[in-house]
Amino acid sequence: MCRIGAIKSRNYIHPSMALQLMQSQQKGHDNSGFAMVMQNLGGIFEPYKHLPTLSMACTDDGIKIAEDILHEIGFHRVMQWAPEVNDEPGLDINAMPNYVFETFDYPRTYRKADQKEKEELLLDTRLRLRAALEPNEEGFAYSFWPDVITLKEIGDPRDIGTYFNLWDADERFTAKVITAQCRQNTNYDIVRYAAHPFHLQGYTALANGENTFYLKNKEFQQGLHRGYIGFESDSQCFLYTLHYVHRELGWPLHYYKHVVTPLPFEDIEQREDDKQLKAIRQSLAHLEINGPNTIIGLLPDNTMFTCCDAKKLRPVVVGRDEDTVAVSSEVCGINEILPDRDWETDIYPNEREVVVINDDLEVQRWKQ
């Protein structure tokens, strides 16, 4: 089973905090992998927040394939960082030869392009990289987006941490938002892309549970947007629905909850906005989820939220102190990283609410 965690802080934090958050929950997950997405980057990436960073794991040939494509499109590299790896014997990690974090400037022709055009270019580029790297498994392009870094690997999360030197905090590799998860998706094949968190155009999602409406979701999503691909994990569907509702339809975040877990008809009838809610339930019926799931999501403006399925079959807890809010499958994870917080203010969200943490670290509970 998955365990998920997310940390949002006023200060830049190091991935070691995410590892600690997840390590104490290790009995609940199966220690088969580690994946994290860092957003609102600090350290060496802080000066490049407006420029896209490519996060990729690949072979030597994979680097060449990717760089050729990026060059052809006109991207030029402004920064490159590769983690120093600690390849000691006996570590349980299925490592790729190279881990690439490269920041690029946009092609000249895009200098005056508007934000939307740039965003579409970044998506198209990542999809092209992925397609080119896929045939011989030359590499995995996880994200290509400003101010976002993704790291995923197969193995024991503790050893993965050791391999990438992530247990020792430093100030070079930090972010204000880190989401993490410690399991490869073992319901299906072991594939690097199958590990959440997933990222698409500024949106990030990770989930705990099993999406029983996977087929329905997938069949509907695959025709909605060119970026909705892969489906190696049933949890990708949650990201695509978030992206579709918030970005493509342009609806406020609280409608995401109405899409994934619509109210029963008898409750809808009692509402003033019954017309809208019914129309949502009708037109987006195939994006409904039926649990058991808890979802943690992030919007491009770094707003973090969590909600769960209508049966509340997966728990999640939100805890905080002055500077940091953590969301975690199990409270022991939060106890680990925020031991001195007032635990009486912890929130255990119910099945009909969305807990939202904005950039001022204000925690709001929205009733569906």
Residues that bind other proteins (CB under 8 A): 1, 209-210, 212-216, 219-220, 222-224, 244, 248-252, 254-255, 264-265, 273, 275-276, 278-280, 282-286, 288, 290-292, 310-311, 313
Contact (CB, 8 A) for 184 and 93? no
Nearer to other proteins, 12 or 366 (CB): 366
Nearer to other proteins, 297 or 319 (CB): 297
* Min CB(39)–other proteins separation in Å: 23
* Min CB(140)–other proteins separation in Å: 27
DSSP track, 82-119: -PPP---TT--B---SEEEEEEEEPPGGGTT--HHHHH
* Euclidean distance between CA atoms 183 and 177, whole angstroms: 20
* Euclidean distance between CA atoms 179 and 312, whole angstroms: 21
Contact (CB, 8 A) for 100 and 58? yes
Q: Would you call 264 helix, strand, or coil by DSSP?
A: coil
Contact (CB, 8 A) for 300 and 49? no
* Min CB(245)–other proteins separation in Å: 9
Nearer to other proteins, 52 or 300 (CB): 300
* Min CB(265)–other proteins separation in Å: 6
Nearer to other proteins, 77 or 281 (CB): 281
Tokens of 129: 């990289």
* Euclidean distance between CA atoms 317 and 312, whole angstroms: 12
* Min CB(31)–other proteins separation in Å: 17
* Euclidean distance between CA atoms 82 and 71, whole angstroms: 20
Nearer to other proteins, 135 or 252 (CB): 252
